[in-house]
Amino acid sequence: MSGQNERISDDEARARVLAAADRLYYHLGVHAVGMDDLRAESGVPLKRLYRLFPSKEAIVEQVLLNRRDMWHRLIEEAVSGDDPRQRLLAIYDALAQWFDQDDFRGCVFINSFGELGTTAPRVAEIVREHKAGFQARLTELVAEAGGPPPLAAHLAILAEGAQTTAAIAGTSDAAKQARQAAEVLINAAIG
């Protein structure tokens, strides 16, 4: 198997490591997964793994950047409709679908920040940028719906709280409850 892995390109090896890291970090946590675990899961020899990624933190950073792209696609797909109010509410519908997936373990950004936020400044920066980006996108959607800017922060808090609550409770009920609260806020703010 080692000879076979030496023949794969660096891009393929990198992709294998990142897929393994994403899976393992999300299910077990960053601290619980060592480089040997990534080697075993990805099939990429340890020496090559370290050549591709100089540190575990570098892998975590790239996993988060990849997850950020996945999140953006999820949100953009959810808000693709025409009705501005429904676009805002569709975010909570997308969250409910995500929460119902068998492998849902909460928000990887919140989880990673909880594990590494004080010891890995770049990880903390990526998490903060991601959360700020989500709120900025909500600000655009709120403006399109004719709502006041503070509504975006309120809706973001509902989405963030739903993610945490769903991870702890193990159900998608939090998304439905957040959607109901969002609808009340939207109706009060926009009329």
> From first to last of its 191 residues, what are the pLDDT tens digits of the chain?
445 555 899 999 999 999 999 999 999 999 999 999 999 999 999 999 999 999 999 999 999 999 999 999 999 999 999 999 999 999 999 999 999 999 999 999 999 999 998 899 999 999 999 999 999 999 999 999 999 999 999 999 999 999 999 999 999 999 999 999 999 999 999 97
Domains and CATH numbers, the chain: 1-54 (1.10.10), 55-190 (1.10.357.10)
| Host H or E run for residue 38 | helix 35-42
pTM: 0.90
d(CA 8, CA 84): 47
d(CA 147, CA 180): 17
